[in-house]
Amino acid sequence: MMTNFEWQNYVPQNSALNGKVILVTGAADGIGKAVTIALAKHGASVLMLDKKARHLEKLSDEMVERGYAEPIILPIDLMEVTPETATTLAQAVLDDIGHLDGLLHNAAELGSPSPLDQYDMEYWNSVMHTNLQAPYVLTRALLPLLKQDHTTNILFTSADVGRNAAPYWGAYSIAYAGLEAQMTIWAEELETVSNIKVNSIDPGAVRTTLRRRSHPGESQDSLATPQSITPAYLKLLAGDHDFHGQRLSI
């Protein structure tokens, strides 16, 4: 079920994010970067996961200079994430922090849109691992940290071609169709045994590097900026909602 929701004027109230610990994948650019900054601005401690270490270091410096909560840098390539490395990461978070209040799966790999019978297998493997496999193993490993007495959140960033399969989108479309199924299964299995809310969100057309690559020649001027849609992510990661198992859309 796809659901639209009110988010445009959302501002976290009563320290809804203050002191929360939230892990964001794909934190160095685009939506991930904008959400990371917004979370820190409202007091959250962000675990910034991305393969672009220098970008993360620069972003961290900028956030500290602004007086925001200091983030923790996790320079990790999702292509190298395995069940073993995810478990190691979860143990490190447990040892250093002790808990987790939110998990945003935002990192994405576009691949090379083409007919399925001509799809490059190297691209296939990287797209499927980054967009589908890595979110699964990270969620599984971090699940014990997310099981708190209070509400915590797992949010999967999705895509329209994952909800409505489209020709020539190949592995990208198939991976996000799988991600939507994964979200639904996690939501149903966790509903009665935890306080974790699990949802997915399709941000729509946003002015990002991935969008420029997937839609060459498209005018970027009419697209939403990553900063303009951050209130939707803040609302969902702050837990200021009753959504669970929903396919949300901006």
Average pLDDT per 10 consecutive residues for the chain, totaling 250 residues:
81 87 97 97 96 96 94 97 98 96 96 93 96 98 96 96 95 97 98 97 88 82 91 96 95
- Predicted local distance difference test score (pLDDT) of residue 2: 66
Q: What is the CATH number of the domain that holds 177?
A: 3.40.50.720
| Residues ≥6 apart with Cβ < 8 Å to 233 | 31, 35, 38, 104, 155, 201
172 is catalytic: yes
Q: How much is the pLDDT for 1?
A: 56
Q: Determine the pLDDT at residue 27.
A: 97
Q: What is the pLDDT of residue 155?
A: 98
What confidence score (pLDDT) does residue 16 get? 87
Q: Would you state the pLDDT for residue 219? A: 83
Predicted local distance difference test score (pLDDT) of residue 230: 96
- Of 189, 71, 199, 74, whose CA–CA distance to 140 is shortest? 189
Name the active-site residue from 68, 172, 176, 233.
172
Q: Which residues contact 129 (CB under 8 A, 6 or more apart)?
A: 78, 79, 81
Alpha carbons 29 and 83: distance in angstroms, whole number? 25
| Residue 40 lies in domain | 2-249
Q: How high is the pLDDT of residue 4?
A: 76
Rounded to two decimals, the pTM is: 0.95
Per the document, the length of the chain is: 250
- pLDDT of 60 reads 97
What's the domain count of the chain? Answer: 1
